[in-house]
Amino acid sequence: MCGIIGYIGIDHVEKYLIEGLKKMEYRGYDSAGICVKDDYLDVVKKSGGIANLEKALLDRKFSGNTGIGHTRWATHGAPNDLNAHPHLSFQSDIAVVHNGIIENYATLKRFLLEKGVRFSSQTDSEVLAHLIESFYTGNLEEAVSKALQNVDGTYGLAVLHRHENKIIAARKGSPLILGIGDSMMMVASDAVPLLDHTNKVIYLEDNDLAVLTRNQYDIMKINGRKVRREIEEIQWNISQIEKRGFKHFMLKEIYEQPEAMRNTLRGRIKGDTIKLSVNFDAEKLNRIVITACGTSWHSALIGKYFMEEILQLPVEVDYASEFRYRTTALAKDDLFIVISQSGETADTLAALRKAKSLGCQTLGIVNVVGSSIARETESGIYLHAGPEIGVASTKAFLCQITSLMLLALAIQQAKGKTISSRMINELEILPEKIQEIIANEKQLRVLAYRLQNATNFLYLGRGVNFPVALEGALKLKEISTIHAEGYPAAEMKHGPIALIDASMPVVFIAPEGKILTKILSNMEEVKARQGQILTITDSQNPKLQELSDHIFMVPKTLEIFTPFLTTVPLQILAYYIADMKGINVDKPRNLAKSVTVE
């Protein structure tokens, strides 16, 4: 949440700031602003998206070559001009952009008010500008260090002083990446805005503080102790994050799913053998615990079905936000898995740290190389899905369940059991079957046109496809603002059935399998109450055909693999319903891509 950009070099800075903010607008679009250092700190900020900021900059001329910018997802304070970043200190000598939450800001604000400081916003972030100024005696990094030692909470931070030609960056809990270029340095919340200018980056770690000048960087801990961080090279390029003719990033990323899944599988299947670079004692494994948030939590639920079916082991799935605050018993032989596309999800990271403190084995499933979770788990699986810009996750979800299947098979193998060659063969051809579904998207566009005016949806599935129902409902809620709920199909009669009438679409995920007859009974119950039924299936069952008002067929596969195929049409349906309603699906209301605050 929130995007930070900073540049110091030899060129005029505003183009770097605006271009960088545009590439990070998926991190927040409540407001945006920049500060350019010249003889004074020149701040321009506007509520709304980057386009509003660009309009405000049309008649402005900047000559400075140092600056910082911010695109905001609002936490403290309404999304208006005053609460937009950057924030200036009381004497207007210091400018700050911040991602995170200052938990003791009320205490710090009272302290500063007593010193005569006046505040101009409702944000917790403004406290940082004033606090740093209160410690300033001629050395900006020293002032930032002293200020942050008094701060409780999380931050990704970039700071300017009008009398010093440097940028100070600091992180705790919110990601920050340094970009190392020729006669210039940059800092950003993620790698996307850096790629136009350099592929050499440094991932700051918690409690790091970096001092950036045009030709140099120094990194130290908040207490002043110098540290060394490795320069890494980003392997993907700017063309991978462009829309390439698609109307929205979400649609582009849906279309990229077959290749994304191939990338997750690539090099990890050798004949009938699974090759994963993971480090835990599989033979002693007695229990698996998985935590995640949002879409990643749904992938964890599918992973639970995979692992219990294949391994006959107990698997628990927990919301990371709940796990971190519960008294939990974990044993050293438990495997604790955390799942996060960004690798920076605040609750998931906190859950990981709690599990590590309890001494159990940890494993991360993430997409972003160098992210906090990737660095802090003992081993892990990278998705290799490529950059995902769309706020509503699609290809990362598919690659997460691919990784969980690979992990289940790898554990089975490590326990000395033979992996079914049929399962391996089917797993490898799933990308082709996903491509078939995408090729039939026209049918889903027609369904979206018919259903776009509905105000409520119910998604129902059973077994391994129950989490698919949850994920389908979430996708529709996220991007279309239509209310939707996912349930196990059998639970419908324990409450949700009261909502069903002729105006409510009910989506059944009903592939061929051992519980299809049970789902048919649930469909009868909906039909008796005039609900209109959309069925996602691979079955030619005549009763299913009779009960369904609309059917979308997916290719045949093994029952355990059906979520790979049933998920995709629900993504496409949600996309087209939202698009037909005139909604920008890449900027869903109130949401941002990476949830780095609690």
Active-site residue list: 2, 593
187 contacts 222 by C-beta, under 8 angstroms: no
Q: 562-580 vs 395-414: helix axis angle to the nearest 10?
A: 170
DSSP state of 284: T
Structure token digits, residue 373: 């979770």
Write the burial class of residue 56 (CB in 10 Å: 0-12 exposed, 13-18 middle, 19+ buried): middle
Whether the link from the prior residue into 86 is cis, omega within 30° of 0, is yes
Q: Which residue has the tokens 């005696």?
A: 137
Cα separation, 163 vs 550, in Å, equals 67
Tokens at residue 542, please? 């005549």
- Give dist(CA 574, CA 447) in Å, integer: 10
Token representation of residue 485? 């709920």
β-pair type (87-88, 216-221): unpaired
CB 48 within 8 A of CB 78: no
State whether the Cα torsion 40-44-50-51 is positive or negative. Answer: negative
Beta-bridged to residue 551, according to DSSP, are 535
Q: Which pairs with CB-CB distance under 8 Å and at least 24 residues apart come from 82-85? A: 82/120, 82/121, 82/122, 83/31, 83/121, 83/122, 83/123, 84/31, 84/32, 84/33, 84/45, 84/46, 84/47, 85/2, 85/31, 85/33, 85/45, 85/123, 85/125
DSSP character for 187?
E
Report phi then psi at 75, rounded to 5: -115, -75
Residue 42, SS3?
Answer: strand
